[in-house]
Amino acid sequence: MKRRSLERRLILWFSAALLLMAALTFVIVFSVSHSVLQKLLRDELVHTVEDNLDEVEFFRTLQQMDKDGDTDQYIRYGVGYLEIDDDFLDSVNGVCTALYRETGELLYGENPIAGFEPESFADGETRVVRARGEKYYVFDRRLESPGLRALWLRGVVAESRGDAPLYFVVRVCLWFLGAVALIAVGGGTLIARRALRPIRDMSRAAARIGGGNDLKRRVPVSPAGDELSRLAETFNDMMRRLELSFEAEKRFVSDASHELRTPTAVILAQCDEALRGERPAEEYRDALAVVRRQGRRMSRIVSDMLTLTRMERGADVFEAAPVDLSALTDELCRDMALIADKGISLAFEIEPGVTVDGDAARLSRMLSNLIGNAYRYGRENGCIRVTLKRDADEAVLTVADDGVGIAPENLENIFERFFRCAPDRSDGGTGLGLPIARQIARAHGGDIAVQSEPGRGSAFTVRLPIRKKVG
């Protein structure tokens, strides 16, 4: 089935509705005018006959008649004469009046429905008679002046006479209908075109975006602030998120291949070296140890990248539950104090009963990333200090060390994925620990900030909203 465009459908609907309304008005005007005109016609018939009643008189002798010089008519009637005054309107405006005997014999005047007229007379009554396929109104009056016995006046008028002015109305209405049809189609086309132009622009822009695979393009947003501008804004917003997610995907692939290239190269080199000829068992063991270390590193990079990408895309959804941050921090600090790498000691000061809403496993990972870094970038025999306290309605967790510190120009970059101040792969870092920690803090409604002085140490501060007491 051929699909009609929205524009054409709108025009069709509006035009049809407008035409229907105009036609309905036309029918109403027609029927009201018809009944009013018919009523006027019947009234005119009655008045004409009533007026003619006084124009017929009886005289015994011709001498008695009014000799006023008028062109009156005289008819012999019984023992005298009937005088029909010249004011008698026997045919005026289509209304014919005639004088009859009660027997039905026509004495004077015209009878347009001869042969079809009613046999009897009905005084003061308007009746409808069909003659030669046409409708007529008939009105009778008995003459009651002295000497006028058994005489009747009958008025007849064709119903179609009342419709004559209506033909004019019909003609005007038909012109009007034609004009309305033209205005409806023309105006409808104009309005529909104008209203749908933004949609056309949007679909063209969307087609260009799709065709050129160019996610940076945006559709134009009209300043009208109507539904269509909101649609364009939503579309652009969707495109922006699509672009971001596409960029994240692209970055993931390029970062992954970049980061995995070195361990892969090391593993391959070790394997090539070991397979080059017979070697002592010691060398094979060393080669396998290198392969295992690089393999673990690759595995950590891939798993960290997946975690981070899931978090950045908002796909890492968790059920928030009350977490006793004080107990969690205390336990983790006790465990991590055992690492005692490079003779570093770990001291902690924890305010009890600090509870937040969130996920214990993720919060634990965030803290262990920060303490892990403090060990990795701490100085020999240094000290790590972990504190947790409540500040108004926030939990403030600080991990401070007295290690290498961070140069001011790097402070902003350390939270970017794979950023490392000193890209030395031997320390086991992946450059993903801090971005993951920040994502976890943000997923809990908080954030991480850093203060550092090169050569003197760094302090990472996490602020999280405290769980509101229920009730």
Q: Note the residues at the interface with ligand ADP (CB under 6 A).
A: 373-374, 376-377, 401, 403-406, 414, 419-422, 429-435, 458
Nearer to ligand ADP, 42 or 420 (CB): 420
Chain-centroid distance of CA 29 in Å reads: 39
Nearer to ligand ADP, 96 or 406 (CB): 406
User: How far apart are CB 293 and ligand ADP at their closest, in Å?
Assistant: 15
User: How far apart are CB 409 and ligand ADP at their closest, in Å?
Assistant: 12
Distance CA 418, CA 305 (A): 10
To the nearest 10 degrees (0 to 180), the angle between helices 160-212 and 6-53 is 170
Nearer to ligand ADP, 68 or 427 (CB): 427
User: How far apart are CB 222 and ligand ADP at their closest, in Å?
Assistant: 45
Nearer to ligand ADP, 161 or 438 (CB): 438
User: How far apart are CB 316 and ligand ADP at their closest, in Å?
Assistant: 18
User: How far apart are CB 406 and ligand ADP at their closest, in Å?
Assistant: 5
Distances (CA, A) of 56 to 64, 76, 82, 154: 14, 13, 7, 13
Instruction: Give residues with Cβ within 8 angstroms of 384, minimum separation 6.
Output: 344, 345, 346, 347, 371, 374, 375, 378, 399, 400, 401
Half-sphere CA count of 5, side-chain side, radius 13 A: 10
Q: Which two tokens stand for residue 167?
A: 């033909």
- Region for 455 from its dihedrals, namely left if φ exceeds 0, alpha if ψ lies in -120 to 50, beta otherwise: left
User: How far apart are CB 377 and ligand ADP at their closest, in Å?
Assistant: 3
H or E element at residue 265: helix 227-275
Nearer to ligand ADP, 198 or 403 (CB): 403
Nearer to ligand ADP, 354 or 432 (CB): 432
Residues pairing with 127 in the sheet: 138
